[in-house]
């Protein structure tokens, strides 16, 4: 139990579907992150939220849309995804942005 919970754990969707990934942390952290982990590639930072404000968008395509309604919850809205978007999507949180990050178990996303 890492304190960071991601749902769903697995998601299969077609390219025309719309779905959302959810991340929740009860650690009292103020910063939350989305990462993409593809096979044979390093983890890639996608988005950073600090106190609900987006502070980093690492050139992520607009078909990925993050939402952070409060410091405990983070969503990643998906629409019109491509097969190359199939990956493990990891959420993380930290007390402040310069503190160690705690990761969730990830959502394994497969695009058909």
Partner 1 sequence: ELKVEQNPLFLSMQEEKNYTIYCNYSTTSDRLYWYRQDPGKSLESLFVLLSNGAVKQEGRLMASLDTKARLSTLHITAAVHDLSATYFCAVDPPGSGSRLTFGEGTQLTVNP
Query: Using CB under 8 A as the criterion, which residues of the chain lie in contact with partner 1 when the complex forms?
Result: 2, 4, 31, 33, 40-43, 45, 48, 50, 55-56, 58, 90, 92, 94, 97-98, 100-106
CB of 83 to partner 1, least distance (A): 22
Paired tokens of 8:
């769903």
Q: Which lies closer to partner 1 via its Cβ, residue 49 or residue 78?
A: 49
Q: Answer for the pair 56, 45: CB distance below 8 angstroms, yes or no.
A: yes
Distances (CA, A) of 70 to 31, 38, 57, 81, 112: 10, 28, 18, 26, 32
The owner of tokens 């939402």 is 67
CB of 15 to partner 1, least distance (A): 25
Q: Which lies closer to partner 1 via its Cβ, residue 9 or residue 18?
A: 9
CB of 4 to partner 1, least distance (A): 7
Q: Which lies closer to partner 1 via its Cβ, residue 44 or residue 67?
A: 44
DSSP type of residue 40:
T
Q: Which lies closer to partner 1 via its Cβ, residue 31 or residue 78?
A: 31
CB of 7 to partner 1, least distance (A): 14
Paired tokens of 34:
């989305």
- Distance, in Å, from the CA atom of 95 to the CA atom of 84, rounded to the nearest integer, reads 32
């Amino acid at each position: 139990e890492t304190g960071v919970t991601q749902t769903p754990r697995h998601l299969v969707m077609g390219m025309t579907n719309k779905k959302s990934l959810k991340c929740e942390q009860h650690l009292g952290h103020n910063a939350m992150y989305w990462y993409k982990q593809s096979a044979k590639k390093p983890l890639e930072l996608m988005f950073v939220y600090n106190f609900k404000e987006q502070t980093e968008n690492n050139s992520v395509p607009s078909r990925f849309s993050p939402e952070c309604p409060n410091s405990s919850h983070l969503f990643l809205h998906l629409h019109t995804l491509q097969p190359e978007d199939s990956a493990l999507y990891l959420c993380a949180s930290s007390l402040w942005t310069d503190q160690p990050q705690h990761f969730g178990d990830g959502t394994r996303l497969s695009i058909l």
